[in-house]
Chains A and B, each alone.
Chain A
Amino acid sequence: MKRYNKFICTGLLLLFHFSLSGQNVIDLRLNELLIINTEDFQDDFGVQSSWFEIFNISYGTVDIGGCYLSNDPNDLKKYTIPRGDVLTKIKPRQHVLFWADNKPYRGSFHVNFTLEDSPVLILTSSDGKTILDMVTLPTDMEPNQSYGRVVDGEGSFGPNSDDSGWAVLSRTSPSTNNYTLDGKSRSEMMKETDPYGLLMAILAMSVVFIALIILTFVFKGTGSIALKSFQKKADAYNKTKKVSLAETSAETFAAIAMAIHLYANENEVHDIETTILTIERGRKNYSPWSSKFYTLRKMPERRNK
């Protein structure tokens, strides 16, 4: 039985591990791409090529190393993103930019295909089969115009993704967010909309009260259930144990009287529990310092070979 339990635990741990690993790469999204680059962003070699961006939607770092990129649905493993490159680890809510220049010898982020004349762009998991995200490339793009998710990471994704959430963007934003806020923090906006804090006070106090009122009702309910079950048990006990005073032995009365006497005069021998009168059981705490066993020299053992 113990071995059986071990198997279950190991299985659960493995499942947990794999589900975590799976969780990581499924948080990657193709986010923005530019097909014809004549005046836009340049790579480290000063060359303008088509590029695409992958976004990590999670709040944890994801290593993209070992995943595959392709522009051919029949060859998902066209470009292997190298493992062991520190730059393939994408930080939470960050982007990584790839150059589709068909020059993979220029580094991990230069793939062996281009986007021009490609029908699709596919990101595949390290198993080489699971398509994490794919996008059908538009054919009517102007030079230096990018196509991407309107809000980073949002919209349909996966092997059957459609174009929902994607659009021609008003400006290119390689390695940065496609969508940015107007610069005001939530705190600033809060101060503008509620300069005296009254709205906040009313809202927040309401939420605090609602949370604690719900708790109050829940525990009133559980309390009444507990009381009923206690009452039931007490009734059942009284039915089975109908002991009249006449049948009660003198020893019982003596024990009760002694307990009350001790409780009243020598309180320290009792443990105190609400509504229950008991005599505390004497305890002798074990300690290796006082154990006779440890103070004795161990007898030598003869081992039979």
Chain B
Amino acid sequence: MDQIINNLQQFWDYTGFANTTYQHILMICIGLGFIAMGIIKEWEPLLLIPIGFGMIIGNIPLYPGLSVGIYEEGSVFNILYHGVTQGWYPPLIFLGIGAMTDFSSLISNPKLLLIGAAAQFGIFAAYSIALLLGFEANAAGAIGIIGGADGPTAIFLSSRLAPDLMGAIAVSAYSYMALVPLIQPPIMLLFTTKKERLIRMKAPRVVSKMEKVIFPIVGLLLTAFIVPSALPLLGMLFFGNLLKESGVTRRLAETARGPMIDIVTILIGLTVGCSTQADKFLQLESVLIFGLGAFSFIVATAAGVLFVKILNLFLKPENKINPLIGNAGVSAVPDSARVSQLVGLTFDRTNHLLMHAMGPNVAGVIGSAVAAGILLGFLS
């Protein structure tokens, strides 16, 4: 009888109920919140649902030593998590992004690239504030990159600069990317006048195939020579784009932008979610990271909008840019461009800004990868 009771006691000790803490429950609730946002509001469901479910998996209370948890060496989740910690997944995601991105709007109007550069200001503003709050320079750099609004870049950089903070940074970056439709419009409206919002931009010209093929090659050579540390991201981004634009590697491009990016998105989302284990995640630092991430995002959006306004001072009236596409300089592709379109339509139902906004949007991807490379070069 004692033996049975002992076995039952041991079994009870192994169950999640015996090991539950209020932090686990809180994290599971946050995970459920993510899933709800993804399903009900349809905010970035491809990211929020894997991350949310990963949060639930990662916060099932475990008896230590079972080789099940994500931080236990040799467990399945630990092996999958290597793709995040070693930085394999982000370049693969960039390959897929490159294979699905049409850079035509950027090639037809190259000055839109500068908006993508201006929006990176959010990264460095958050870096400064993080330093003032007492973070080390490498951690501050990793936190600042949230302002780039680029999940894979944030994961890539934080895995190199501040692996301990990666869970919080990744979740923060993806959360704010999902909240783009909520965060950006008020800032866009705050910094623009009604007259500016009605600016009609010149239709982009037709871009030849040759230009589209040259773009990834020249783009890679120029940016990677300036910031070689961003090579994993830029190399894969432009390679994916060449697969798409060359016209002779359709199968490879379709795999990169289809099944491959889907697989990597599932793995990255799930493992990042799992990494938010309550004991590692629920700390004051995480709260600060979320706050700094929001600040960084707001500054990035404002910087993009304000830069367009400044740029307009030097442009001829027929070449003026609608500042409502300034927000798209952050690289949340294509959500921030979609926000430009939706906000633009509320003021003029016939003024479609989407194709114009895609220019700074994809420039933001390049800009944030370059910024990540610079931070890596300075701080690693």
Contact = CB atoms under 8 A, between A and B. Distances in A.
Contacts of B106: 219
B137 interface: yes
The listed residue with most A CB atoms (<10 A of its CB), out of B110, B114, B211, is: B110
A207 B374 contact: yes
Contact of A222 (B121, B130, B211): B211
Given A216-B110, A218-B218, A188 B137 contact: yes
A230 to B, nearest CB: 7
A286 interface: no
Interface residues of B, number: 50
A232 interface: no
A212 B208 contact: no
Secondary structure type dominating chain B contacts: helix
B117 A200 contact: no
Interface stretch (A43-51, A56-64, A129-137, A190-198): A190-198
Interface string B352-380: 00000000000100110011001100111
Contact of A210 (B124, B206, B226): B226
A175 B375 CA distance: 32
A211 B127 CA distance: 21
Interface string B104-137: 0011101101101110110111011011100011
B378 A191 contact: no
A213 B111 CA distance: 8
B136 A188 contact: yes
A274 to B, nearest CB: 5
Given A190-B378, A191-B136, A201-B125, A226 B211 contact: yes
A205 interface: yes
A250 B285 CA distance: 76
Contacts of A229: 208
Interface string A211-229: 1111111111011001101
Contacts of B140: 197
Interface in B70-103: none
Contact of A208 (B207, B211, B367): B367
Contact of B371 (A196, A204, A217): A204
A210 B225 CA distance: 12
A223 B105 CA distance: 12
A274 B223 CA distance: 30
Interface string B138-162: 1011000000000000000000010
Contacts of B363: 212
Contacts of B4: none
Nearest to B104: A274
B215 interface: yes
A187 interface: yes
Interface residues of A, number: 38
A228 to B, nearest CB: 11
Contacts of B378: 186, 190, 200, 203-204
Contacts of B375: 204
A190 B141 CA distance: 11
B227 interface: yes
A212 B137 contact: no
A217 B114 CA distance: 11
Given A186-B378, A187-B138, A196 B110 contact: no
B214 interface: yes
B379 A230 contact: no
A197 B131 contact: yes
B107 A208 contact: no
Contacts of B161: 187
B205 A212 contact: no
A244 interface: no
A191 B366 CA distance: 27
The listed residue with most B CB atoms (<10 A of its CB), out of A197, A210, A213, is: A197
Contacts of A215: 110, 113, 218-219, 222-223, 366
B379 A213 contact: no
A200 B124 contact: yes
A240 interface: no
A19 interface: no
A212 B128 contact: no
B210 A226 contact: yes
A197 B207 CA distance: 41
A209 interface: yes
Contacts of A188: 136-137
B222 A214 contact: yes
A197 B124 contact: yes
Contact of B370 (A197, A208, A218): A208
B51 to A, nearest CB: 28
Given A210-B226, A211-B223, A204 B124 contact: yes
A207 B124 contact: no
A193 B32 CA distance: 44
A197 B127 contact: yes
Nearest to A220: B110
Interface in A85-104: none
Given A201-B124, A207-B370, A218-B218, A190 B379 contact: yes
The 8 tightest CB contacts between A and B, nearest first, are A197-B128, A201-B124, A187-B138, A219-B110, A191-B137, A212-B117, A187-B137, A216-B110
Given A201-B124, A219-B106, 14 more contacts: A197-B131, A198-B128, A203-B374, A203-B378, A204-B124, A205-B120, A207-B370, A212-B113, A212-B367, A213-B113, A214-B226, A220-B110, A223-B110, A226-B210
18 contacts: A186-B379, A187-B138, A195-B131, A197-B127, A200-B378, A204-B378, A205-B124, A208-B367, A208-B374, A209-B114, A211-B226, A212-B367, A215-B110, A215-B219, A219-B107, A223-B205, A226-B208, A229-B208
Interface of A: 185-188, 190-191, 194-198, 200-201, 203-205, 207-220, 222-223, 226-227, 229-230, 274-275
